[in-house]
């Protein structure tokens, strides 16, 4: 009996000693569970309030892709605004226009050259005829008709030649009258040496027979004369005479 009582007391003592520790452990575990539950609720709330980290980049990529598509679309011109390329027909039209312009320009140049040549040819003909007429007046001289001959020569001359002839005409007149001189001649050949619209140089080949009191029988002389003809007030006049 005594032993049973002792065992019972010991058991009660052990249970009383174990009970506070067990209760403390249970209390600690309960507190830990409450903390864990609180943390879980807080994490769930944060996850709900904040955007999904995984979804955010996708959304950003989508926005950037949309913006890029918009830019691509805006950079492409409308079909009506897009410049048209040069076609073969355009090149043909351009080439035809260039050829036409070249033809017109060539025609203008040729026409101008032709007109200049035509004027020079006409000047040459007129000056040559005037030079032949002037030479016939000069090489056919009769002391009995000096006034008429001198007047015709001065009328068909200009410039320095006219001045020199006018100054020497008095002396020439006196010599011819004293010697009863007479000259007859003919223009054998003539040609234009150079020509411009207002000035022409003419070469003349002249045969002339001269007689006077000392030489009653006429003597034939052949000479070559260069006459410069100048156009003055529409007339071709001799401005210079040279024996060559």
The length of the chain in residues reads 244
Q: Are 224 and 190 in contact (CB under 8 A)?
A: no
Residue 29: predicted pLDDT = 53
- CA angle, 13 as apex, 7 and 19 as ends, to 5°? 135
What does the alpha-carbon distance between residue 192 and residue 127 come to, in Å, rounded to a whole number? 9
Alpha helices in the chain (DSSP H): 2-49, 55-75, 88-139, 146-155, 159-179
The predicted-structure confidence for 24-44, as pLDDT tens digits, reads as follows 445 555 545 554 555 555 555
Q: Is the distance from CB of 201 to CB of 194 less than 8 angstroms?
A: yes
What pLDDT is attached to residue 4? 46
Q: What is the pLDDT of residue 59?
A: 42
CB burial string 122-143: b at 16+ within 10 A, e below: ebbebbbebbeebbebbbbbeb
- Pairing relation of β-strands 199-211 and 235-243? unpaired
Distance (Å, whole) CA 195 – CA 122: 10
Q: Which two tokens stand for residue 50?
A: 């904040």
Residues of the chain falling short of pLDDT 50: 1-25, 31, 35, 47, 50-62, 64-77, 79, 82
pLDDT at 80: 52
DSSP secondary structure letter of residue 231: E
Sequence-separated (6 or more) residues with CB below 8 Å from residue 131: 190, 200, 202, 204, 227, 229, 236, 238
Q: Can you tell me the distance from the alpha carbon of 139 to that of 227, in angstroms, rounded to the nearest whole number? A: 13
Instruction: Tell me the backbone φ, ψ of residue 148, rounded to 5 degrees.
Output: -65, -45
**Token reading at 140:** 């056919």
Q: Decide: 166 and 172 in contact? Cβ < 8 Å.
A: no
What is this structure's pTM? 0.56
The vertex-40 CA angle with 35 and 42, nearest 5°, equals 95
Whether the CB-CB separation of 218 and 209 falls below 8 Å is answered with: yes
Cα–Cα dist 232/197, whole Å? 11
* Residue entry with tokens 């600690």: 28
Domains of the chain (ranges plus CATH)?
115-243 (3.10.450.230)
**Residue 104: what pLDDT?**
87
């Amino acid at each position: 009996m005594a032993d049973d009582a002792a065992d019972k007391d010991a058991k009660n003592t052990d249970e009383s000693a174990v009970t506070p520790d067990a209760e403390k452990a249970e209390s600690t575990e309960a507190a830990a569970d409450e903390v864990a539950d609180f943390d879980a609720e807080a994490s769930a709330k944060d996850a709900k309030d904040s955007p999904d980290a995984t979804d955010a980049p996708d959304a950003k990529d989508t926005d950037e892709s949309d913006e890029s598509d918009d830019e691509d679309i805006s950079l492409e011109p409308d079909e009506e605004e897009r410049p048209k390329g040069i076609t073969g027909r355009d090149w043909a039209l351009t080439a035809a226009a260039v050829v036409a312009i070249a033809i017109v320009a060539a025609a203008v140049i040729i026409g101008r050259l032709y007109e200049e040549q035509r004027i020079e040819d006409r000047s040459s003909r007129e000056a040559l005829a005037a030079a032949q007429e002037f030479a016939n007046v000069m090489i056919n001289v009769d002391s009995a008709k000096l006034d008429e001959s001198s007047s015709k020569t001065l009328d068909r001359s200009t410039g320095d030649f006219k001045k020199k002839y006018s100054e020497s005409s008095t002396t020439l007149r006196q010599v011819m009258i004293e010697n009863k001189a007479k000259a007859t001649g003919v223009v054998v050949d003539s040609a234009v040496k150079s020509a411009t619209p207002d000035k022409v140089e003419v070469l003349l080949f002249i045969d002339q027979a001269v007689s006077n009191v000392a030489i009653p029988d006429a003597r034939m002389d052949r000479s070559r004369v260069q006459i410069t003809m100048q156009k003055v007030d529409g007339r071709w006049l001799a401005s210079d005479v040279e024996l060559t």
